[in-house]
Structures are given as structure tokens and as C-alpha cells.
């Protein structure tokens, strides 16, 4: 008997597994495929990483800048991760640290003009990659899936609130 090599989370499923387990693993496998492709394309085309792209995306949404703690919260990563990424982007001239006019103890991070231009180019292509990843689905199918996932997300959040 030869062992079948798992290629993604979904290959571990068999018919006896509960439908929720099969669905969860399919969602994980699909998310990983889209994310892996996106990471690869960012690296190949822009010599950057998804965390760097994500940090720049957060800053693009708030042109006046964000405190490091807020960036960490929005990205759902540790402050150390945000500091490391910010240091690299600052050395490359893509972000800058500025004093917070409202709180002299705090520092804001914001995109530089070069950072805004760089992010705009990456974001436009990133959007095309994501659209291409979902091209197999119709608009109606995407809307149905988005609605179902929103319902599931709300339910899981309520479980988290109940459990804590």
C-alpha cells in the first residue's frame, strides 16, 4: 500500500469527514492557493512581500499616517513585525515617520510620494491578479458566496464573544 502525499489541506479529507470539516479545508486550500500566487507575483514583479504590500495598503487608506500600534492592529501582527517592515520601507524611501501633532509622544508612519507611486502600481496589478483568480465564478456566484461567508463570519464572531 502506497501512502498518498498530501498536496494541500483538502487532500486529507475523506467521505467520512463531516461536511463542515470538508468545507473548512476547501476554504483553507483555496485561500492558500490564491495567497501563494499573490505572494509569488509580488516577489517576481516588485521584489516585495505580501506583508510589505499590506502595510502600504493600510497607509494608503489613511494619507495622514497611522501610529505603529494601529498598524499592528489593522494588520493583525505584532508590533515587532510592523517595526521591522517599517524600518525596511523607510530605508527604501517608501514610508516616513513623522511626529504626531496631536500627541507629541507618538510617531505616525505614512507613505512618501515615492511610496504612493510604488503602491499604486502594485495595487492596480494586485487587483487584476485577484480578479483573475475569481474569473471562473459569475457575479451572482461571487455575491452568493460573499453573503454566505459574511453570515458564517458573523456566527463565528458570536461564538468568540460567547466563549470569552
Tens-place pLDDT, residues 113-133: 999 999 999 999 999 999 999
Name the nearest CA neighbour of 63 among 16, 110, 120, 103.
110
CA angle 16, 21, 27 (to 5 degrees): 130
| Domain assignment of residue 64, yes or no | yes
Report if residue 20 sits inside a domain. no
What tens digit of pLDDT does each residue of 9-54 get?
Answer: 666 666 677 888 889 999 999 999 999 999 999 999 999 999 999 9
What's 75's domain CATH number?
1.10.10.10
What values do phi and psi take at 163, rounded to 5?
-75, -25
User: What whole-number distance in Å separates Cα of residue 129 and Cα of residue 143?
Assistant: 19
Examine residue 103 and state whether it is found in any structural domain, yes or no: yes
Assigned domain for 74 exists: yes
Number of independent structural domains in the chain: 1
Residue 157 lies in a domain: no
For the entire predicted model, the pTM comes to 0.82
Residue 4 has pLDDT above 50, yes or no: no
**Tens of pLDDT along 53-110?**
999 999 999 999 999 999 999 998 888 899 999 999 999 999 999 998 888 888 999 9
Query: Is 156 part of any domain?
Result: no
Give the structural domain span for 63: 51-133
Amino acid at each position: 500500500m502506497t501512502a498518498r502525499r498530501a498536496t494541500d489541506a483538502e487532500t486529507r479529507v475523506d467521505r467520512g469527514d463531516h461536511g463542515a470539516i470538508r468545507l473548512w479545508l476547501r476554504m483553507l486550500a483555496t485561500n492558500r492557493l490564491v495567497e501563494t500566487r499573490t505572494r509569488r507575483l509580488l516577489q517576481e514583479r516588485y521584489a516585495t512581500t505580501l506583508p510589505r504590500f499590506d502595510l502600504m495598503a493600510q497607509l494608503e487608506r489613511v494619507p495622514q499616517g497611522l501610529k505603529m500600534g494601529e498598524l499592528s492592529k489593522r494588520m493583525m501582527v505584532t508590533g515587532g513585525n510592523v517595526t521591522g517592515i517599517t524600518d525596511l520601507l523607510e530605508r527604501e524611501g517608501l514610508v516616513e515617520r513623522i511626529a504626531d501633532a496631536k500627541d507629541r509622544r507618538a510617531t505616525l508612519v505614512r507613505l512618501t510620494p515615492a511610496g504612493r507611486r510604488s503602491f499604486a502600481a502594485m495595487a492596480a496589478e494586485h487587483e487584476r491578479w485577484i480578479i483573475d483568480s475569481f474569473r471562473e465564478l459569475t457575479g451572482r456566484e461571487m455575491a452568493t458566496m460573499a453573503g454566505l461567508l459574511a453570515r458564517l463570519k458573523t456566527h463565528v464572531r458570536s461564538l468568540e464573544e460567547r466563549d470569552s
